[in-house]
A and B are shown apart, each in its own frame.
Chain A
Amino acid sequence: MKRLCTLVLLILIAAGELSAETEIYFSGFVDTLSTVGLTGDILASWARFRPELELYNGNFYLMTTLEARYSEKDPLESEIALKEAFIEYAGSSFDIRGGRQIVVWGKADGVEITDIVSPKDYTGFSGEEYEDTRLPVIALKGRAFGTFWTVETIWIPLFTPAQLPVSPDNPLREALYPSSSGLTYQFNDGTKPSRLKDSEFGGRISFFLPWGDFSFCGFSGWNDTPWYESSLDGSTLTLNPEYYRIWMGGMDAAVPFASFVFRAEGAFTGNQRFRDSADDSNYHVRDGLKILGGLDWNPGGGWSLTGQYFEDWVLGHGDSIGRDQRTQSVSLSLSKSLLRECLELSVMGILNLGDYDSYSFYQADYAFTDAFHLLGGVVLYLPGPENDGEYGAYKDVSNIWVKGRFTY
């Protein structure tokens, strides 16, 4: 909080000192969400204010976004936090951006394959937008580009882990760590990699050609989601997060044809940890492979359809790994805009082809005015016929939600 106030103060001082050529823009939104579980319990209820400040001066650009959130259901998630805050220098064929920023890679929808630079925020479960699910990294990013290509390099001197639903009032925690087990869970903060030699690095080269786009990328960093080393003392299970080094090499492509766009993405991730099949406290180090193929179809009339097929492999599996060597899933999303784009209806579903569990949402977004949108939807986590599966584990978090947003 102290650092945040200092940063805001510096920005305001800088804004005051800037010349008359500086252009300053304020924008942002206020929104509020209420979520009710299918059992009738209130699962989430919060309101937030997200102001954004932009300064333009010649080739320099500064952007900062704050987020002030009040959560009635989960007071631990009430906070005032800096979302993004970076300064950028932009030339005609290069740019350099330093500060807190969200970096997005890849062509897949809703599946992270090469998109592992910015960690995920796993605390939300309804009414989320993409930006809500990503955390900024403190990074220095440089790009050089021409009309048909871009080379991007990124240095992340300070590691940011994923945000997990460990707050006692977050219903996702109950799904992951059920109190019915009779255990009390103690989540420790652990030690994050923080030395300069612990820096993360990445690079990506992209091409944008008449017949299609494709990219190659590489990344060396830390696993965003920690491995929990556990110790049991009576009925208290203490969980200590451990972060370990991984690396990734991947590629993606998007090829348009008539009203279709074919998409593909794949990544080889080295040095991952997988739980032992017999001993939860033990793990094995293996490499992993993820591949995805997808198809977008825009037939006109405001319709949009996307289908994806995804596989996740553990290489050198053996019998000792506590998950299948190969998991497969398919996703389908459909949206339709109506009333001159005032109303958008959308449906999305993911089916796990192993346990046949699924996740799906059904959403409506109506713009009463350009500034005020009312959104509502249903989120369903359905277990498989024999096992809950990855998505079915959250079956008690299936919900109905409504959200209002005022943008200025």
Chain B
Amino acid sequence: MKRRIKMNYLIPAMLLFITSAAFSQSGEEIMRMADERYTGDSSSSRTTIQLINKRGNERVRELISYSRDYGDSEKTVMVFQRPADVKGVGYLSYSYEEMGKDDDTWLYLPALKKSRRISGSSRNDYFMGTDFTYDDMGDREVYEDSHTLVREEVLDGEKCWVIESRPLESGEMYSRRISWIRQDIHMAVKVEFYDRQQNLMKILTISDITQIDGIWTAGTMVMDNLLKEHKTILTMGDMRYNIEVDDNFFSVATLERGRIR
């Protein structure tokens, strides 16, 4: 089971850049190109996560993450900065391109003062109480769905491709996803998620899109969980690409220092 916690690549993985899609391309070709696009050799970010329930009560998390792409693998370290009760909790993960190869994942809990090897959580589990599953956060591979280019459509004044993705295997959380891909910058700006009963379950909306170090980056992502009347807002801050970061930074020893900032 592949399990990627890649906040830095969260946006690219979800938003599916399409480098040179022609209208005649199939949905699968578009998705595959998007999945393989260049997102920098390394990156870092500070992400604020707002959890808002149906009564409007808000809880806020903030985490710092660093990633480095090694071609056949990708290493990510991610540490919570707030709130205080989870401050210092860190994850280190190595994700592999090789089909079927499990991620290597460690969890550091400051209260235990040691790291712990952990297995991959269920991809349909929600990440840290948010409305994003691990699948939503870039864990899902292109080959796991069939993709159909449904139509072209103008959304918020931008011309988009609309792609429907259906899982090839049964038992998945979503029966289908529909993605709107902006044609000018080849980036998804909206995704609808449907449950097994074909009810519209969640809507992801992406905004505040800017170019950072030559890479189009979304500033805000809102996942609106219609069934649970709950909303998660991710705000990406201090996003940097192709940063200098040592190999040893992505080690259990660094994670156990417990003070990545």
**A positions within 8 Å CB-CB of B:** 27, 29, 54, 56, 61, 88, 90, 92-93, 95, 102, 104-105, 107, 129-131, 134, 143, 145-148, 150, 206, 208, 210, 212-213, 254-261, 296-302, 340-342, 367, 369-371, 373, 407-408
> How long is the Cα–Cα vector from A258 to B125 in the complex, in angstroms?
15
- B250 contacts which of A61, A147, A296, A342 (Cβ < 8 Å)? A147
Closest chain A residue to B228, Cβ basis: A340
- Can you add 9 more A-B contacts, CB < 8 Å, to A92-B248, A210-B104, A371-B85? A88-B257, A130-B112, A131-B111, A146-B248, A146-B251, A210-B101, A261-B118, A298-B119, A371-B83
Q: Smallest Cβ distance from A291 to chain B, in angstroms?
A: 19
Task: With A56-B261, A130-B112 as known contacts, state yes or no: A302 contacts B125, CB within 8 Å.
Answer: yes
User: In the complex, which of the residues A102, A148, A255, A256 has the most CB atoms of chain B within 10 Å of its own CB atom?
Assistant: A256
- B121 contacts which of A148, A298, A367 (Cβ < 8 Å)? A298
User: Is the beta-carbon distance between A150 and B253 smaller than 8 angstroms?
Assistant: yes
Q: Smallest Cβ distance from A287 to chain B, in angstroms?
A: 27
User: Is the beta-carbon distance between A93 and B84 smaller than 8 angstroms?
Assistant: no
B106 neighbours in A (Cβ, 8 Å): 208
Q: Tell yes or no: B219 within 8 A of A by CB.
A: no
A257 neighbours in B (Cβ, 8 Å): 119
**B positions within 8 Å CB-CB of A:** 1, 51, 59-60, 82-87, 94, 96, 101-102, 104-106, 111-114, 116-122, 124-126, 128-129, 230, 246-254, 257, 259, 261
User: Is the beta-carbon distance between B248 and A258 smaller than 8 angstroms?
Assistant: no
Closest chain B residue to A95, Cβ basis: B257
User: Is the beta-carbon distance between A254 and B104 smaller than 8 angstroms?
Assistant: no
B51 neighbours in A (Cβ, 8 Å): 340
> How long is the Cα–Cα vector from A26 to B1 in the complex, in angstroms?
40
The majority secondary structure among interface residues of chain A is: strand
Q: Smallest Cβ distance from A41 to chain B, in angstroms?
A: 30
> How long is the Cα–Cα vector from A407 to B87 in the complex, in angstroms?
10
Closest chain B residue to A28, Cβ basis: B84
Task: Give 30 pairs: A residue, B residue, CB < 8 Å, sorted on A.
Answer: A29-B84, A61-B259, A95-B253, A130-B112, A131-B111, A131-B112, A145-B253, A145-B254, A150-B253, A206-B252, A210-B96, A210-B104, A212-B117, A256-B118, A257-B119, A258-B119, A259-B121, A296-B118, A298-B118, A298-B119, A300-B121, A300-B122, A300-B124, A300-B125, A340-B230, A341-B128, A342-B129, A369-B59, A370-B60, A370-B86
Q: Smallest Cβ distance from B61 to chain A, in angstroms?
A: 8
A301 neighbours in B (Cβ, 8 Å): 122, 125
> How long is the Cα–Cα vector from A407 to B111 in the complex, in angstroms?
13
- B83 contacts which of A95, A145, A340, A370 (Cβ < 8 Å)? A370
Closest chain B residue to A373, Cβ basis: B85
User: Is the beta-carbon distance between B248 and A256 smaller than 8 angstroms?
Assistant: no
User: Is the beta-carbon distance between A256 and B119 smaller than 8 angstroms?
Assistant: yes
User: Is the beta-carbon distance between A408 and B253 smaller than 8 angstroms?
Assistant: no
User: Is the beta-carbon distance between A340 and B102 smaller than 8 angstroms?
Assistant: no
User: Is the beta-carbon distance between A102 and B113 smaller than 8 angstroms?
Assistant: yes
> How long is the Cα–Cα vector from A102 to B246 in the complex, in angstroms?
27
User: Is the beta-carbon distance between B128 and A213 smaller than 8 angstroms?
Assistant: no
B248 neighbours in A (Cβ, 8 Å): 92-93, 145-147
Task: With A27-B84, A341-B128, A370-B84 as known contacts, state yes or no: A210 contacts B121, CB within 8 Å.
Answer: no
Task: With A145-B253, A298-B118 as known contacts, state yes or no: A407 contacts B85, CB within 8 Å.
Answer: yes
> How long is the Cα–Cα vector from A407 to B128 in the complex, in angstroms?
19
User: Is the beta-carbon distance between B94 and A210 smaller than 8 angstroms?
Assistant: yes
Q: Smallest Cβ distance from B60 to chain A, in angstroms?
A: 8
